[in-house]
Amino acid sequence: MSLFVHESLFSMSSDDPFNSVERSLQFVGAFEAELLLELMLRHWGHPCANDRAFRNDLLETVSEILIASSSGEVFIEGLLAQDMNLVSAAWFIEKTAINDADGELRAEWADRLRRAIPSCFVNEDEFHDDDVV
């Protein structure tokens, strides 16, 4: 299956008011964000994937991370606040959930996610127009 990514998603300057975090904030309130998060949890074997309350709480926390990022707070070293997105926010939450009973399993899920979708952890200004397929 070939995935077409429109080049305008990667041609934004760092001072663009409609950057990754802003696009993610608009998306996170949609049903599709809930669906995407559930599919991510299930596909990469999250230990709480079947827990609806957990998924709802995670999505709410993702929203909070995105709001803080839109105000300039950096959560992931090497990733600009303006480049935070739903995937990287979920990764951050789960990677730092070490105090939970399932903390180790949640961190393993986060590792699998980051290996599978590394482009969600790269600053937009690192993409070049010739990298778009």
Domain residue limits, the chain: 18-131
Q: Using alpha carbons, list the distances in angstroms from residue 93 to 13, 67, 104, 117.
A: 27, 14, 13, 16
Overall average pLDDT of the 54-73 stretch: 96
pLDDT of residue 97: 82
- What are the tens digits of pLDDT across the range 37-61? 999 999 999 999 999 999 999 999 9
Overall average pLDDT of the 12-37 stretch: 81
* DSSP track, 92-128: HHHHT-TTSTTHHHHHHHHHHHHHH-GGGGS-GGG--
Q: For residues 50 and 37, give the distance between their C-alpha atoms in angstroms, rounded to a whole number.
A: 12
Take residue 61 and report the two structure tokens written for it.
């926390």
> What is the pLDDT confidence band of residue 104, given thresholds at 50, 70 and 90?
confident
- 57 membership: H or E segment, kind and range: helix 52-70
pLDDT of residue 133: 44
Give the global pTM.
0.79
Q: Phi then psi for 75, rounded to 5 degrees?
A: -110, -30
pLDDT of residue 102: 80
Q: How far is CA 35 from the centre of its chain?
A: 14
Is the distance from CB of 73 to CB of 83 less than 8 angstroms? no
